[in-house]
Chain A
Amino acid sequence: MTSKLWLKKHKLIYSKDVLDIVQFGSSVIGDKIPHDLDIAVIFEKIPLKEQLDQSQKIKAQLQKITDLPIHIKSFDFYSFFDKSNFAKENILFCGKSLIGLDNFSKKFGFEPKIQISYSLKDLKKKDKVKFNYLLNGKKGEYGLLRQHGGKLLNPGLIEIFPEHEFIFVGSIKKITNNFEIRKILT
């Protein structure tokens, strides 16, 4: 049973009121083993009662695909962008569409990326080398950039996909704390 539901097209039955079904939260982050799955269903502007009833039906279908407990949230665009929706940044930035099998933000014409700027200035030479190996690999082994589709934009600046943030940050932290993270939509 999978936890990354967006990697495969599932035969889900839903009405035309459903604009998208989005997986978000910790289960879409690279190397984490999730305890549960967060799903957001984005609806046309229909009554809340109908949203909730339809979401329950979608949840029942998804629950047949995974053993992990599913937490489902229902939104229309008004409630999605409401200030009280604390999940919107996560859904926009990390959300994966189970309908489009791609980033949810692509619906709005954006691609989410993480930029990490770092400085090796105060590191010892051996740590600078270690850092270089970490990103670019050594002796034919892939480094993190190649493994996870990231790229070096400038010396001291890399760009990666949001789902790999924890992998990169965790590895970089072992060598230096001199780095900054920026979330961007390109």
Chain B
Amino acid sequence: MNNGLIKEKLEILKKTAKEYFDSACEEFSKKRYNSSVVLYFKSLVALIDLFILQKTSNTPSSHTERFRITKERFKDIYNILDKDFPFYQESYVHLMTKELAEVIKNDVEIMAKKTQINL
């Protein structure tokens, strides 16, 4: 990936991470925890992709690839992703709780620190 493209992707990922995070907080404040969990997770994934881009100059193109890259190279991030992903998958059929939304929000904040992003 050339430098111009990397820069552009970095900006997009920062923007989407922040946008999802803000929307997640809004949904959280309205006690809509399913939406909040989904949006926090999307923010988390954007930040994970940002982290991977910062470290490797590439971004994963699917969840499978994201899992593979993090499992091989960034174990602590893989653990976060592996821990939170099932809730995202289940968010269509299960009721999410306030406590769970807070847990995923906390993981987003951890990733924001790792990527040096102000949410």
Contact = CB atoms under 8 A, between A and B. Distances in A.
A, B bound? yes
Contact of B94 (A52, A71, A86): A86
B112 to A, nearest CB: 17
A121 interface: no
Contacts of B102: 49
Nearest to B99: A48
Given A56-B79, A56-B82, A56-B83, A48 B100 contact: yes
A47 interface: yes
Interface residues of A, number: 12
B86 A71 contact: yes
Contacts of B106: 49
Contacts of B100: 48
Nearest to B82: A56
Interface size class of B (residues with CB under 8 A): 10 to 19
A84 interface: yes
A73 B99 CA distance: 15
A84 B94 contact: yes
Contacts of A52: 83, 103
Contacts of A86: 93-94
Given A48-B100, A86-B93, A86-B94, 9 more contacts: A47-B99, A48-B99, A48-B103, A49-B102, A49-B106, A52-B83, A53-B83, A56-B79, A84-B94
22 contacts: A47-B99, A48-B97, A48-B99, A48-B100, A48-B103, A49-B102, A49-B103, A49-B106, A52-B83, A52-B103, A53-B83, A55-B83, A56-B79, A56-B82, A56-B83, A59-B82, A71-B86, A73-B86, A84-B94, A84-B95, A86-B93, A86-B94
